[in-house]
Amino acid sequence: MARPWERKFLGFSFTSAGVPKRRIAPKAVDRFKERIRELTSRTRGVSTERMAEELARYLRGWIGYFGKCESLRCCKA
């Protein structure tokens, strides 16, 4: 049996200090950053317009899924 802040569930985790809050699990943030690097790579061979469309679609989906998170510390950087 593990503490809630030590567990990850569907990309979410919980804070351990004070009142528990939902936060984005570190592994989910790492996957997000890697996918952004893939989408914005200069060696992909796609036009800037298409890259912007793909990036916007990915960001909308990601924000739609993780937008209800109470601790958005990772989104500030």
pLDDT tens digit sequence for 25-69: 888 889 999 999 999 998 888 999 999 999 999 999 988 888 777
Q: What distance in Å separates the CA atoms of residue 61 and residue 54, rounded to the nearest whole number?
A: 11
Please answer whether residues 19 and 74 qualify as being in contact, where contact means their C-beta atoms are separated by less than 8 angstroms.
no
Domain extent at residue 45:
25-72
Question: In this structure, what token pair is assigned to residue 70?
Answer: 């109470």
Domain count, the chain: 1
Please answer whether residues 71 and 22 qualify as being in contact, where contact means their C-beta atoms are separated by less than 8 angstroms.
yes
- 17 located within any domain: no
- 1 located within any domain: no
- 15 located within any domain: no
pLDDT for 57 equals 95
Question: In this structure, what token pair is assigned to residue 16?
Answer: 């351990």
- 30 located within any domain: yes
Q: What distance in Å separates the CA atoms of residue 58 and residue 19, rounded to the nearest whole number?
A: 31
- The band of 77, judged by pLDDT with boundaries at 50, 70 and 90, is very low
In sequence order, the 6+-apart residues with CB closer than 8 A to the CB of 39 are: 51, 54, 55, 58
